[in-house]
Amino acid sequence: MLLDLSPTGWVNWLGFVLFGFLFLALIAETISAIVQGSGNDWVAALIMAGATGYMAYLFVTTPFADEEEAAMAEAEAGKRGSKS
């Protein structure tokens, strides 16, 4: 199950790492705003943390199709279609 939730290409890994760092930084900002008692800043930080966490999740679960592999698959499908 854990292997199903791993990024499939370098683009997915890059997006996961970048949005993951943003998510962690915004969680830290949320905690900091709560501790300092700085009004409703913690609400905005929590909303942004949720948004960036969701983006990181999307990079993990969305498959990455390599352009070269897609072109080769399309060419192979074209060959099969012309032989029929």
Domain ranges of the chain: 9-64
Using one digit for the tens of pLDDT, what is the confidence trace for 12-46?
Answer: 889 899 999 999 999 999 999 999 988 889 999 99
pLDDT of residue 5: 66
Judged against a pLDDT cut of 60, whether residue 83 lies above it is answered with no
Q: What is the torsion angle, in degrees rounded to the nearest 10, for the CA atoms of residue 25, residue 50, residue 52 and residue 48? A: -70
pLDDT of residue 29: 95
Q: Structure pTM?
A: 0.69
Please give the DSSP secondary-structure letter assigned to residue 39. Answer: T
Using one digit for the tens of pLDDT, what is the confidence trace for 54-77?
Answer: 999 988 888 766 666 667 777 787
Question: 12, 56 in Cβ contact below 8 A?
Answer: no
pLDDT of residue 66: 62
